[in-house]
Amino acid sequence: MRAKRTSLVHLIYFSRLNLSSDPQLRANQLGDITRQAQKKNEFSVITSFLIIEQNFAAQVIEGERMSIHETFNRIAEDQRHRDVQICEWREITKREFVHSFKTGMRNAATETLFNKANLLAPLQRGTPKAATIHALAVSLQSDAMSKQGIDHLFI
């Protein structure tokens, strides 16, 4: 028996970031990305998790097929990204992420998760695996939620 086709999909991509090397300006640029993406994702009923690793971005976005297609096209045309590559595009039965836009970056609190994922070298080579990006995003979301006292999700 064939699985029922769904219009709910997730897309995983990575890119090089075209942001300032000045820490304050870079923080402002990342803030702009966050505000714009959150607003657009909420309007399009998209959930996502963006990973920032040095000058690379990797993101899982989930939603209706057409919304994901439009969102990805917008990302690919955004001058703050370059060398945008899709790792995975597939149908899903349910969402795994709860926020319209959430970001995870390497810092003292997330260092262990980033080290375990070992994503930087594959990003630098242009060969990250979708499963690695996805697992890191899920781990970062889980870690952030457990710090808020949330031990499981009802999605």
CATH code of the domain covering residue 52: 3.30.70.100
Q: Using one digit for the tens of pLDDT, what is the confidence trace for 123-135? A: 999 999 999 999 9
pLDDT at 1: 53
Q: Is residue 65 part of a domain?
A: yes
Q: Please spell the DSSP secondary structure of 94-121, one letter per residue.
A: S----SSSEEEE-STTTHHHHHHHT-HH
Q: Is residue 140 part of a domain?
A: yes
Q: Is residue 153 part of a domain?
A: no
Mean pLDDT of 79-107: 95
- Range with lowest mean pLDDT among 46-50, 61-65, 92-96, 145-149: 145-149
Please give the residue range of the domain that contains residue 44: 8-146
pLDDT at 144: 86
Tokens of 17: 């970031």
Cα separation values, 133 from 71, 127, 141, Å: 19, 11, 12
Number of structural domains in the chain: 1
Q: Is residue 154 part of a domain?
A: no
| Per-residue pLDDT at 147 exceeds 60 | yes
Q: Is residue 43 part of a domain?
A: yes
